[in-house]
Every structure is written in structure tokens, then in C-alpha cells.
Amino acid sequence: MQLFDASPTGAGPSLALHGGAGGRIEELSAEGRAPYEQGLTAAYQAGWKVLAAGGDALDAVCASVEVLEDDPLFNAGRGAALTATGRAELDASVMTGAGRAGAVATSTYARNPVWLARAVMERTDHVLIVNPDLSFVERFGLDVAEPGWFVTEPRQQQLARVLDGRAAAARHGTVGAVAHDASGRVAAATSTGGMTGQADGRVGDSPIVGAGVYARDEVVAVSSTGDGEAFIRGVVAYDIAARIRYAGAGLAEAVRATFDAELTQRGSTGGVVAVGGDGRVVVAHNSPMMFSARGPGPEPVITT
């Protein structure tokens, strides 16, 4: 297991984000590391700009995830992994440290599912909406796109390789961010296209509160990526929070213990970014690699 633990710097803000655990796919790897690093840096800087101006943790994580959704290198928004029938079905969630949450699953019209998830949280009485139609997205004045806009040629090539047995289905492509703002609030957001070749209608952990996302002020905010079914069964994001809140574990200790009990011992892999109530940042994964950017500070530490 790889774990990076960054101590907080006073009471200031901190931010961490991930672009998926696992590895690069063949069709998206021709240019090497640089485009991934550029995408991660742009996403981090979008979130950090919010925090540096005294903004809210929720605004910061949404800003970071929006950038990653718009970057076709990452498995969210445009360029997301495709289902077995070639569709892009997008899942996303947001959660604040005050306990508010919103999520969407199998979204096909919202250009940025993270903003639709936020709209569900802030402008409806619901937490999770499945298969939101065009009129639902337009109701909130969000940017829309036709379903085909999300489909890219590299992802079609990846799907073809999976369906004819030349590649295994990638289970780890998800993006997400966590933040701790200057007022001490935390928030988390997660967004994904799921796994390549999945059945139409399959929903992983990303829009599930407690599995792919969780936040509680003065405790932790977590965003997950990995074997979605394992993260759901182990309620991984919440398990980390519970170890801190009820057992008094430190952030790094809680992450290690949860990974060991709910993932590693069960033969599953993935990663998380987490920020504690004191601003401490932990980035961890038991997969071969994970794309991530972490602070605190205006210039992120990038891992690809």
C-alpha cells in the first residue's frame, strides 16, 4: 500500500484530488505522463483558487472535479469509460461536512455531472437521482450535452479491446476531490463513467454516500476510486470516518486499517484522497498507481 501523509499548515486551507487508481489505458497513453500531470495541475489550481480567496470547501471540490470532467484523459464527463453497448453513463456525488449530500447515477445529459449532483443536494428534497432526463437537467440551468458528446474514439477503442478479450475491464477510473477551507469546513466530490464494458445501468460506489464519498466537519472528507463493488460492500469512505470519530484513530491510521480490512484482505484494490478536520491530507492506494494532486499550497505535489 502507498500512503502519502501531509501535515496541516496552521489553520489554512488544504486540497487533494485524484484522477483514478489503476493505470493508464493503452489508447490514452501515447503522449506519456505530461498530459495527465497538466490535467491534474489545472484541476488542483481551479480548486485552490477558490480556497485561496477564502471560498467554501464545496465550491473548491466542485471546481476541481469540473476540470477533470472536461478533460477526456480522465474517466468522468467527456472521455468517460463506455458500457458494453457503447454508452457513457455518468455517476457523481457531493457531500458537505454539515451532512448534506446529492448524487446522480447513469446521467447522460449533464455536461458536468458534479454540478447536477450539487443541484440535487441544494435544490431538491432528494439525495440520489437515477437516469435524470434532459428536462431535469435543464430545470437547473446547467450546461447540457447530447449523449454522444461524451463518447471519444480512444474510449471506443478501449471498449473494443475489452469486449474481444484483448484487455481487462478497467475498474479504477474515477475522479474526485476533498477540501478543508479556511473556516474549517470540509467537503468531498466524486465523479465517474464507471468501468469499461459494464452492463447498462450498473452503478458503482461513486454516487453512494458512505462508499465513494463522505464528509463530516471536524472529522474527515473522503473521495474514493477503485473496485466499486468492494467499496460499496465495505462502506469504505464511511468506515474511515467512523474509525476517526468513534475509535479516535488518526487519519493515516484509519485509512490503513480500512484498506486492510475492507479491500486488501478481500483481494480488491483502489485508492482514496482524504482531508482531516485539522487540514491534514492523506492520499493512499493499494493499486499499482493512482493519479493524484495534493496540497496544502498553491503548487500541488503530483503523483502519476
SS (H, E, C) the chain: CEEEEECCCCCCCEEEEEEEECCCCHHHCCCCCHHHHHHHHHHHHHHHHHHHCCCCHHHHHHHHHHHHHHCCCCCCCCCCCCCCCCCCCEEEEEEECCCCEEEEEEECCECCHHHHHHHHHHHCCCCEEECCCHHHHHHCCCCECCHHHHCCHHHHHHHHHHHCCCCCCCCCCCEEEEEECCCCCEEEEEEECCCCCCCCCCCCCCCCECCCEEEECCCEEEEEEECHHHHHHCCHHHHHHHHHHHHCCCHHHHHHHHHHHHHHHHCCCEEEEEEECCCCEEEEECCCCEEEEECCCCCCEEEC
Can 225 be counted among the known catalytic residues?
A: no
- Rounded to whole angstroms, how far apart are CA atoms 68 and 92? 12
Q: Among all chains, which residue has been given the C-alpha cell 496541516? A: 8
Q: Which CATH number does 2-303 carry?
A: 3.60.20.30
Polymer length of the chain: 304
Q: Is 274:282 a contact under the CB 8 Å cutoff?
A: yes
**For 137-144, which contacts have Cβ atoms below 8 Å and span 24 or more sequence positions?**
137/107, 137/109, 137/110, 140/116, 142/110, 142/111, 142/112, 142/115, 142/116, 143/110, 143/111, 143/112, 143/115, 144/109, 144/110, 144/111
Catalytic-labelled residue, pool 108, 174, 196, 258: 174
Q: Which residues contact 81 (CB under 8 A, 6 or more apart)?
A: 75, 88, 155, 158, 159, 170, 173, 192, 193, 194, 195, 196, 198
Query: What pLDDT score does 304 carry?
Result: 80
Half-sphere exposure of 248 (CA within 13 A, CB side): 0
Query: What pLDDT score does 30 carry?
Result: 52
Query: What pLDDT score does 135 carry?
Result: 97
Q: Is 256:236 a contact under the CB 8 Å cutoff?
A: no
Please work out, in degrees rounded to the nearest 5, the angle formed at the alpha carbon of residue 195 by the alpha carbons of 193 and 199: 95
- Tell me the sheet residues that pair with 275: 221, 281
Query: What pLDDT score does 172 carry?
Result: 58
Please work out, in degrees rounded to the nearest 5, the angle formed at the alpha carbon of residue 39 by the alpha carbons of 176 and 13: 55
Query: What pLDDT score does 23 carry?
Result: 57
pLDDT tens string, the chain, 304 residues long: the values are: 999 998 775 568 999 999 988 655 554 555 578 999 999 999 999 999 999 999 999 999 999 999 999 999 999 999 999 999 999 999 999 999 999 999 999 999 999 999 999 999 999 999 999 999 999 999 999 999 999 999 999 999 999 999 998 666 665 579 999 999 999 999 999 999 999 999 999 999 999 999 999 999 999 999 999 999 999 999 999 999 999 999 999 999 999 999 999 999 999 999 999 999 999 999 999 998 899 999 888 999 998 8
Query: What pLDDT score does 7 carry?
Result: 74
Query: What pLDDT score does 31 carry?
Result: 59
For residue 253, give the C-alpha cell. 491510521
Longest Cα–Cα distance of the chain, Å, equals 53
